[in-house]
A and B are shown apart, each in its own frame.
Chain A
Amino acid sequence: MNNSVLLDVSKVTAGYGNIMVLQALSLQVFEGEAVGLVGPNGHGKSTLLGAVSGITRIQSGAIHFAGIDITNSKSSKIVKMGLSHVAQGSRLFSDCTVEENLMLGAYLNRNRKIRSASFNQVFTFFPKLYERKNQLAKTLSGGERQMLAIGVGLMSQPRLLILDEPTLGLSPSIKSELLLSIKKILQSGASLVIVDGDFTFVRELTERWYGVSLGQVAAEGNSKEGMDERTLKKLFFGESVHE
């Protein structure tokens, strides 16, 4: 594996108004690597992703992507550099067609050849999207929406793909279908940061994981070695007084 750092988050403090959700959080993602973020809700995972993609303003600290400082840069600049963030929840343009949604994913890419290559790639990963090309996004099923959201994220040909809760609300069979597709995406060489409540899903996809709690990295480990129950309990429920 290439050992250069692709994403370097260094002592980032960020939040909303006066409330700082991230407290000097640091983590790194290497080129070609897949990293998982786990931890209780409301402890900063999505805020961190927002800070990385330019949605949330950072109070202090720095973020570098491929060696370039992107601290508080505009999202458009960050997307252009090859970082694509598929946010949690409603992330589609529901009154646009599937094709238009994908087109928007390639908004900054005016080169037709590259764009049609992206279309082909997305349709290879998610053949269903091709069938539904002319349908409005709001008429898709939950699983298809998820696929479209990831497809939109892939249209900019990212070096780093960030997925926030991709399996939320999906049935087990659709989850495993999605797992296979994301694996294929990883084989194509992109790096990945994934946040998900389903640890098995995260473990299957990633090489390393970080546990985020109270706005800091509270634990980290190798995904293949598994996440031991005690560490996870501590991450989610805090230190036991009896220990």
Chain B
Amino acid sequence: MNDAFLSIVISGLVLGSLYSLMSTGLSLTWSTLRIFNFAHGAFMTLGAYLAWTFLVFLHLPVIIGVFLALLCLSVSSILFQYVFISPFLKRQQGDLLVMVTTLSAMTIITTLIQATWGPHYKQLPTLIEFELKIGATTIGANQLMAIVLAPVMSILVSYLLAHTRLGLAVRAVEQNRNAARLVGIEIQGVQSITIISSTILAGIAGILLGGITFVSPVMGDDPLLKAFVVVIFGGLAKLSGSIYGAYVFGFMESLSTYAFGLFWTPIVIFTAMIFIMLFRPEGLMRGRTS
């Protein structure tokens, strides 16, 4: 029983960490651009494939490989902004258009990934050689890294938002775009920085997940869906809400997997989610900008 409890906790923490990495990015882009970025999951996948290319295919050292993967990912996220988002956001009902363009971007990126790397599953190496044994439960290095890294990233993002000039600018754009422009903030620049940061977070999630399970062209779909739910559940556009929401969701999933099995888990957690939303329609935390 103790072992079972431990593995539920660990798997809940790992899932929560992955969801929090994903939903932090979604929440950031939602608050500064007012868009739901459907391509967010595809960028997670792309991050994993880029890391595979640098680490496994080219045998580069871990730090350099991961750095290069995240760098390429950042560049592609800027391309993504200028091709799929910025030209449409200015138009009438731009937010709806962008919903469609990010959906198209998701399909295009996923297809290009499959064309480039093929449909077969790949596996990323564990980033560091390490294993933690507690009783009969083994925690792998990537799982441990996810558990540690996600809160660190969350704290880092929260700190940057609260205490830096750039963070203040991001919050200004989030709260009042016109007023932000009038004090001289370059809105598009702030949006670029938001997109890059959220894509990097998604890439990290992809690299960690790719070492825990497999790398496949559709690996980002499920985390994207869950992160969407987490962001809304946590209180739209409130970062702390997304982070709490991610862990609540992760633990619910891991508990339900233990109790009802993998097959029934989606039904169980999504039903639970609907019930929670019935009683707290504003989400766990009331959103700043909802």
Of all chain A residues, the one with the shortest Cβ separation from B162 is A100
**Known contacts being A76-B185, A79-B183, A104-B183, is A55 close to B169, with CB within 8 Å?**
no
Least CB distance from B17 to A in Å reads 27
**Known contacts being A95-B171, A104-B168, is A76 close to B176, with CB within 8 Å?**
no
Contact of A90 among B168, B179, B184 (CB under 8 A): B179
**Known contacts being A93-B171, A95-B288, is A107 close to B176, with CB within 8 Å?**
no
Residues of chain A having any CB pair with chain B under 8 Å: 53-55, 74-76, 79-80, 84-87, 90-96, 100, 103-105, 107-108, 152, 155-156
Q: How far is the CA of A4 from the CA of B179 in the complex (A)?
A: 30
Main secondary structure of the interface of B (DSSP, over half): helix
Q: How far is the CA of A84 from the CA of B183 in the complex (A)?
A: 8
Determine whether the beta carbon of B178 is less than 8 Å from that of A104: no
Determine whether the beta carbon of A55 is less than 8 Å from that of B172: no
Task: Say whether B175 faces chain A, with CB atoms less than 8 Å apart.
Answer: yes
Specify which chain B residues have a CB less than 8 angstroms from the CB of A74 in the assembled complex: 186
Specify which chain A residues have a CB less than 8 angstroms from the CB of B186 in the assembled complex: 74, 76
Determine whether the beta carbon of A93 is less than 8 Å from that of B185: no
Least CB distance from B98 to A in Å reads 19
Task: Say whether B280 faces chain A, with CB atoms less than 8 Å apart.
Answer: no
Least CB distance from A52 to B in Å reads 11
Determine whether the beta carbon of A107 is less than 8 Å from that of B185: yes
Contact of A55 among B175, B176, B178 (CB under 8 A): B178
Specify which chain A residues have a CB less than 8 angstroms from the CB of B184 in the assembled complex: 75-76, 79-80, 107-108, 156
Determine whether the beta carbon of B182 is less than 8 Å from that of A79: yes
Specify which chain A residues have a CB less than 8 angstroms from the CB of B169 in the assembled complex: 104, 107
Specify which chain A residues have a CB less than 8 angstroms from the CB of B185 in the assembled complex: 76, 104, 107
Determine whether the beta carbon of A90 is less than 8 Å from that of B176: yes
Specify which chain B residues have a CB less than 8 angstroms from the CB of A90 in the assembled complex: 176, 179
**Known contacts being A94-B175, A95-B288, is A100 close to B182, with CB within 8 Å?**
no
